[in-house]
Amino acid sequence: MSKIQFNKAFTQQEPIPETAKKRVMELLDSGRLHRYNTVGEELSDAALLEQDFAQYQGRKYCLACTSGGYGLHIALRAMGLQSGDQVLTNAYTLAPVPGAIHAAGGKPVLVEIDEHYHLDLVDLEAKAKSSNAKILLLSLMRGHIPDMDRLMALCNDLGLQVLEDCAHTMGGSWGDKKSGNFGQVAAFSLQTYKHLNTGEGGLVVTDDAEIAARLIMHSGSYMLYERHGAAPSPEVFENIRLISANMSGRMDNIRAAIGLAQLPGLDKNCQRWNSRYAILHSTIAAIEGLNIPVRDARESFVGSSLQFRPIGLDVGQIPGFIAACAAQGVELKWFGDDKPKAFTSRYDSWHYIDPMPHLPNTLRALEKTLDLRVPLTFNDADCHVIGAVIAQVTAEFMVR
């Protein structure tokens, strides 16, 4: 049988909207790229993005900054983290999450996950009680939203503040509540492979006026905090403005203009991702030897990536399986690899965490977990071809 070939790049994004290109050229012509370089009462593009995203998200305050990881870092500080404090977080996440804890002076305490890629609530409770942690940095890794009702009830009982890492859940929800509206603070990423693409960038939201003021001061506002689009009143800044360190991480107007142009189409794009995801899910789920964890009906996720496990293969066959798919044009990432590759790393490769825990449930959940990116540059026919490639490779490996 001839090998099926897929010929599109998994890293190719859609073009930036024409309205953004026009606005960027206006900004370049003006030379006023800095968010505080405004005239009179005008709001900069960065302030407008804050205003519009706060309204979209349904939260009172929003800060635009340089990246989602930077947003997590200053959010931890704004929430009261002190040097040496322990912070609970998922063992399954990307490196910028424990990196943000480390940058803020904290010590990551890694919590086990279950087979559905959610925090293990039993382990969370045990580690919350055995540590001095007062904050849970909840990483909604690859868009998997846990039972937020149970999780928040537990965190409330334990006295934990929750910082949501919504890098992969912008546009998603649990029940009728948007992801990013559960914890005291939530951070979103605008990096190229996220749901709004500005190359790099972050948005941090909260309903807490003092936390919002601290975020703005930490981001590098100097005393120009009144030029933000979704900020608390100037009076809130009086008690904290001289004791909140400036950690320059402002968003510039060019990236803000690119984000502003994409935000009105976000919900439609989420539907487009989910239509592609549905095809890939039905195709891959039907392949003997492959498994996709079941998701809760209350979770409205955004299918910008898909995770599956080739349970019919030995772990030692995984590298060959990935290589065979790559030879036919389908790019997969392996979260169980014990060596970091590109953006992907397993928790035990973050050697600055001391002591390094042994987390058998997480290792078991990840040992065969493969990750498939779902770009919007793919159409329905492409998704069928990708599924056919994976089916063909799986069939070949199952008979070895």
- Which residue in 290, 275, 294 sits closest to 321, CA to CA? 290
Provide the mean pLDDT of the chain.
97
Contact 61, 232 (CB under 8 A): yes
Is 349 domain-assigned?
A: yes
Q: Are residues 222 and 348 in the same domain?
A: no
Is 7 domain-assigned?
A: no
**pLDDT tens digits, residue range 291-321?**
999 999 999 999 999 999 999 999 999 999 9
Is 13 domain-assigned?
A: no
Q: Are residues 228 and 371 in the same domain?
A: no
Alpha-carbon torsion (341, 343, 346, 351), positive or negative:
positive
**pLDDT tens digits, residue range 220-262?**
999 999 999 999 999 999 999 999 999 999 999 999 999 999 9
Q: Are residues 78 and 133 in the same domain?
A: yes
Contact 213, 185 (CB under 8 A): no
Is 37 domain-assigned?
A: yes
Q: Are residues 255 and 287 in the same domain?
A: no
Q: Is the pLDDT of residue 1 over 90?
A: no
Contact 325, 284 (CB under 8 A): no
Q: Which residue, chain included where needed, has tokens 């973050």?
A: 350
Q: Is the pLDDT of residue 285 over 80?
A: yes
Q: Are residues 181 and 245 in the same domain?
A: yes
Q: Are residues 210 and 63 in the same domain?
A: yes
Q: Which residue, chain included where needed, has tokens 């010590």?
A: 107
Is 11 domain-assigned?
A: no
Going by their DSSP bridges, the two strands 299-300 and 173-174 should be labelled as antiparallel
Tell me phi and psi for residue 27, to 5 degrees. -65, -40
Q: Is the pLDDT of residue 399 over 80?
A: no
Give the CATH number of the domain where residue 319 resides: 3.90.1150.10
Is 12 domain-assigned?
A: no
Determine whether 321 is exposed, middle or buried from the number of CB atoms within 10 Å of its CB (0-12, 13-18, 19+).
Answer: buried
State the Cα–Cα distance between residues 83 and 99, nearest whole angstrom: 14
Q: Are residues 45 and 171 in the same domain?
A: yes
Q: Are residues 128 and 226 in the same domain?
A: yes
Is 3 domain-assigned?
A: no
Average pLDDT, stretch 112-134? 97
Contact 160, 131 (CB under 8 A): no
Q: Are residues 138 and 275 in the same domain?
A: no
Task: Show the domain range for 315.
Answer: 266-398
Tell me, letter by letter, the H, E, C secondary structure of the chain: CCCCCCCCCCCCCCCCCHHHHHHHHHHHHHCCCCCCCCCCCCCCHHHHHHHHHHHHHCCCEEEEECCHHHHHHHHHHHCCCCCCCEEEEECCCCCHHHHHHHHCCCEEEEECECCCCCECHHHHHHHHHHCCCCEEEEECHHHCCCCHHHHHHHHHHHCCEEEEECCCCCCCEECCEECCCCCCEEEEECCCCCCCCCCCCEEEEECCHHHHHHHHHHHCCCCCHHHCCCCCCHHHHCCCCCCCCCCCCECCHHHHHHHHHHHHHHHHHHHHHHHHHHHHHHHHHCCCCCECCCCCCCEECCCCEEEEECCCCCHHHHHHHHHHHHHCCCCCEECCCCCCECCECCHHHCCCCCCCCCCHHHHHHHCCCEEEECCCCCCHHHHHHHHHHHHHHHHHHHCC
**pLDDT tens digits, residue range 35-90?**
999 998 899 999 999 999 999 999 999 999 999 999 999 999 999 999 999 999 99
Average pLDDT, stretch 160-188? 98
Give the CATH number of the domain where residue 30 resides: 3.40.640.10
Domain boundary among 248, 264, 280: 264
Cα 295 to Cα 13, 52, 100, 174: the distances in Å are 27, 31, 28, 11
Radius of gyration of the CA atoms of the chain, in A:
22
Tell me, letter by letter, the H, E, C secondary structure of 205-217: EECCHHHHHHHHH
**pLDDT tens digits, residue range 259-272?**
999 999 999 999 99
- Which residue in 48, 129, 139 sits closest to 89, CA to CA? 139
Q: Are residues 275 and 187 in the same domain?
A: no
Alpha-carbon torsion (347, 349, 355, 357), positive or negative:
positive
Q: Is the pLDDT of residue 109 over 70?
A: yes
**pLDDT tens digits, residue range 195-225?**
999 999 999 999 999 999 999 999 999 999 9
Q: What is the pLDDT of residue 400?
A: 65
Q: Are residues 209 and 271 in the same domain?
A: no
Domain count, the chain: 2
Average pLDDT, stretch 13-19? 97
Domain boundary among 249, 264, 279: 264
Q: Are residues 297 and 169 in the same domain?
A: no
Domain boundary among 204, 238, 264: 264
> How large a percentage of the chain has pLDDT more than 90?
98
State the Cα–Cα distance between residues 263 and 274, nearest whole angstrom: 17
Q: Is the pLDDT of residue 157 over 80?
A: yes
Is 225 domain-assigned?
A: yes
Contact 88, 135 (CB under 8 A): yes
Q: What is the pLDDT of residue 398?
A: 85
Residue 306's Cα: distance from chain center in Å? 14
Residue 123's Cα: distance from chain center in Å? 22
Q: What is the pTM of this model?
A: 0.97
